[in-house]
Structure 1
Amino acid sequence: MSGLLYQFPAKTRLDRVVAKQKILAHIKGSAKLRERLRDEVDQITWHAKLASSTLNLPSTKEVPELQVFVVTLKGEALHDDVLSAIDRAIPFPTVFELKGPSGVCVKAAYKRPSQADANHWVTDEHYLSSGWHEEGAERCPLPPAIHLKALYHQCLSELIPTPKRDGERLEEQLARFNAATALGKQAEKLEKRLRNTKQFNRKVELNAELRGIREQIAEYIAR
């Protein structure tokens, strides 16, 4: 299981409940999205604010603050489009903890200022996930960092299944993971075609193609 549960210092804790109406006011999506938020989310809590004033770490342009929100679920799961809608309403990099019947799951998407407009945040489409931890699982202290950007990048890096290589930047680690994920989807399609193919020569071709894709995946995920 990737990802760690962190113990956030008392000085950073806020634990303020955020009214769902405030989030709904920011959502410009479909009625279906708004319905999902109402049906899937029981409560949204602003759990912690990691900032120079609360953590004694310098802020950076890319990460002036890091917010931690707890989303308590009504059921087993939360659609990523709902999480993305909540994320867009928060004008800072954010780490989420989802709490549900299966325990606690840490999720986050890489968020950074737009190069075209520093006041606009760009958030990756896909969310990284720790998988489910048992409720009450042991929490770790925050990793050492020289500034908030480094802390944020370490938190995200822990969520990426592809291990970080020595000297590798977060963006490079993410790129490797995304490439391996895309190739994995290609491999699944090839495997399906292979199962449905009866011609021997075509099976040989598909097997060779599949073997090549698996070798590429192995290169991307190697430490």
Structure 2
Amino acid sequence: MSRALFAYPKQAQFGRVLPKNKIYEHTSPSPALKALFVQQIDQIVWQYKLAPETINLPAKPAVPEIQIFDITLKTAELDHDVLRCIDKAIPFPIIFQLSHDNRIQTIATYKRPSEADNNKWVIDGYFADDWQPIETPRQPLPVALDLQGLYEQLLRRLLPLPPREQEALKNHVERLAQWHGKHNEYQKLQAKLNKEKQFNRKVEINAQLRRLKTELEQLS
């Protein structure tokens, strides 16, 4: 069973096809980005609307509603700039369900109102579950007191590092970004070590690798 595939309530079903040009109207994408939409996306369906009137959970300023978008892909890959463009066009948090070749993947970013300007949304990097067979059983929605609590639980299922006790979602996401940065650094150093011929340089690189490994363990 997937950690991030949920059985959304029937009463929350919206089920409307979202034409690509409606997204373009709100974001003015470049010709290159429009080309990606055409090459990679077959159809976008605004599948569910999780809101006070559909699932009886109160809204919060940061999460007035949660939208579930189903995207049928033409290719196995989807450029995150395409998702970012859709996120910019829709002023609510979105959970995307991508489908291609009888498989499904859940992906989302931690989307929240900007502290500097409440009319703007902050969009970070994207977190994804593994691809699953389309017939994978879905879980019931997590129990939550409000839409913000529900959104945080849906999003945390996509984060590869477990939360620390009482850790806010914002801190969890920031820690994950630090972990990714250190992990990339570690991999580059490892590649450098494999090519290095000088003994002294090898000793130096090994010391750096040990330090990074400790830091990665602390962030995990």
TM-score, length-scaled by structure 2: 0.96
State yes or no: 1:172 paired with 2:171. Answer: yes
CA positional deviation for 1:3: 4.0
Show the counterpart of 2:212. 213
Residue equivalent to 1:161: 160
1:46 aligns to 2:46 (yes or no)? yes
Aligned mates of 1:11, 1:197 — CA distance in 2 = 61
Letter in 2 for 1:209: Q
Number of equivalent positions: 220
Between the aligned partners of 2:121 and 2:201, the Cα distance in structure 1 is 47
CA contact (8 A) 1:3 1:129 kept: no
The 2-side partners of 1:34 and 1:214 are apart by 41
- Match in the other structure for 1:128: 127
> Helix, strand or coil: the match of 1:131?
coil
User: Which runs of no fewer than 5 residues in structure 2 stay unpaired?
Assistant: none
Partner Cα separation in structure 1 for residue 116 and residue 176 of structure 2: 26
Name the SS for the 1:159 alignment partner: coil
- Provide runs of 4+ in structure 1 moved above 4 Å: none
Q: Counterpart of 2:15?
A: 15
- The aligned residue for residue 69 of structure 2 is 69
Please, which runs of 5 or more residues in structure 1 have no aligned partner?
A: none
Q: Is the CA contact 2:2–2:136 (under 8 Å) kept in the aligned structure 1? A: no
Give the superposition deviation at 1:78.
0.6
Per the normalisation by structure 1, the TM-score is 0.95
Contact 1:3 / 1:106 at 8 angstroms: preserved in 2? Answer: no
For residue 102 of structure 1, report the CA deviation from its aligned partner. 5.8
Q: CA RMSD in A?
A: 1.3
User: How far off is 1:217 after superposition?
Assistant: 0.5
What CA deviation, in whole Å up to 9, does each residue of 1:99-147 have, x standing for no partner? 11261110100111111221211111x1000120111100001000010
* In structure 2, C-alpha distance between the alignment counterparts of 1:102 and 1:202, rounded to whole Å: 49
